[in-house]
């Protein structure tokens, strides 16, 4: 029976060391560039046509999605991101 080695523990010091090295990295992200949209609201009734709630929208939010979200996270970690993708 062959056992795979256990990964090194992700201690706080290890995480800080890895994120400090991100400043020297250039990372290419290739994928779909998306915009995620969130509609927030409440529901007090069910549709008569289908068993789905009727929502009264009180707030709308937009956020980066797909490869754009990955690029934002890479940049937040300190690396330089090159985003390659399609929009539309």
Give tens-digit pLDDT for 23-79: 889 999 999 999 999 999 999 999 999 999 999 999 999 999 999 999 999 999 889
pLDDT bin (cut points 50, 70, 90) of residue 88 is: low
φ, ψ for residue 54, nearest 5 deg: -95, 120
Enter the pTM of the model.
0.68
- A 10 A CB-CB count for 33 gives 19
Write out the two tokens for 83. Answer: 């985003």
């Amino acid at each position: 029976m062959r056992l795979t080695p256990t990964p090194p523990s992700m201690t706080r010091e290890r995480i800080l060391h890895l994120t400090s090295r991100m400043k020297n990295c250039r990372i290419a992200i290739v994928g779909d560039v998306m915009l995620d949209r969130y509609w927030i609201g409440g529901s007090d009734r069910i549709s008569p046509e289908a068993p789905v709630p009727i929502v009264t929208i009180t707030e709308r939010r937009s956020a980066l999605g797909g490869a754009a979200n990955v690029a934002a996270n890479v940049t937040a970690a300190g690396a330089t991101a090159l985003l390659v993708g399609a929009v539309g």
